[in-house]
Amino acid sequence: MDRWADAGLVSGEAVELDVRAARLGSRVLALLLDLLVQAVVALVLTSGLSMVLVALPVGVMDGALSGALQTLLLILVLVGYPVLMERFAGGRTVGKLAVGLRVVRADGGPVGVGQSLTRALVGVAVEWPGLVLPLLSWVASVTVMLSDPRGRRLGDLVAGTMVVHTRGAAVWRPVPMAVPPLLGWAHTLDLTRLDDGLALAARQYLGRVHELAEPERGRLGRALWAEMAAVISPPPSWRAPESAYLAAVLAERHRRAVHRLRRTREVTATLWPELTPVPVPVSPPVAAPTAAPAGLRPAAPMISVPTQPSAVRPESAPVGADRPAD
């Protein structure tokens, strides 16, 4: 398993589970969310209790009954809330649901009602709110959580439980690139018999090769390469790990696919130019008119007046022919 599987949980088939133990940060965040929910629950219960008390006859409510009701309300909020939520929500409260945590037994099984009750009682007594020496119990609880390999608190140690993450921690890693010594060999490959299913399986393997542990990682890589080597040619002449061969084949397949796509687009642009998007020309910005210097009148705009064509005087006409008669 990779470094994220640190809970140490083993299934009945003696297989280590890929589960992370919840640490102090995520558990404190879940606790803060649960405190908000508990405050809302306490407000609702208090309002309902006040309405019931108002409806009671005068003289029924005394100091002892009021104190008992307040104690019952406090128990319901601090103890009943986590126990009921973990019972009916699969070991999760509202805060744990939001953060992605779950309470399980130390062996990975589902938590029981007795264990949830033990966790809640120990938490109220010595952790939060800590009825017994609050400041000292808080320091002791944080010290225990930081020193425990699984991040368990005092209530988990007493009840035999632990809190784990329900969401995997995916670490982004790029697919390994083809190593330079294999590029020349990859250019000569015949990939006509390599189908999409096998290529996809190889790509998924390369994307998760860092999450796999030996000997499963090596066995799966050899199996994929043996299946791929049977449908491509020629065989590699340079010794390398199976993952390097797979990465080189996938890189060459991708390069050829990009080349085919580029050629297809060029042919399409030649035969059907109207299908090719034409970039819209951007006109240069028009400069704003500059202000005239102080003391000078702005130049008057020039107005072009259309000229009328002048009549051509015939050569044979006398000089005073167009004069009016006296």
Nearest to 161 by CA among 100, 91, 98: 91
Given this model, what pLDDT does residue 297 score? 55
Residue position matching structure tokens 């250019």: 187
Q: How far apart are CA 158 and CA 78, in angstroms?
A: 18
pTM summary value: 0.52
Q: pLDDT tens-digit profile of 64-95?
A: 877 888 889 999 999 999 999 999 999 999 99
Higher pLDDT, 263 or 175: 263
Query: How far, rounded to the nearest angstrom, does the alpha carbon of residue 95 sit from its chain's CA centroid?
Result: 19
Find all residues with CB under 8 Å of 218, minimum gap 6, and list them: 242
What type of residue is 247?
Answer: A
Higher pLDDT, 47 or 15: 47
Q: pLDDT tens-digit profile of 122-131?
A: 999 888 888 8
Given this model, what pLDDT does residue 302 score? 52
The band of 316, judged by pLDDT with boundaries at 50, 70 and 90, is very low
Residue 9 confidence (pLDDT) above 80: no
141 touches 84 (CB < 8 A): no
Q: pLDDT tens-digit profile of 206-247?
A: 888 777 788 888 899 899 999 999 999 998 877 888 888 899
Is residue 181 reached through a cis peptide bond, with omega within 30 degrees of 0 on the bond before it?
Answer: no
Give the count of beta carbons closer than 10 Å to the beta carbon of residue 108: 16
User: What mean pLDDT is predicted for residues 182-190?
Assistant: 88
Q: pLDDT tens-digit profile of 264-306?
A: 888 888 887 776 665 555 555 555 555 555 555 555 555 554 5
Q: Residue 101 has what DSSP assignment?
A: E
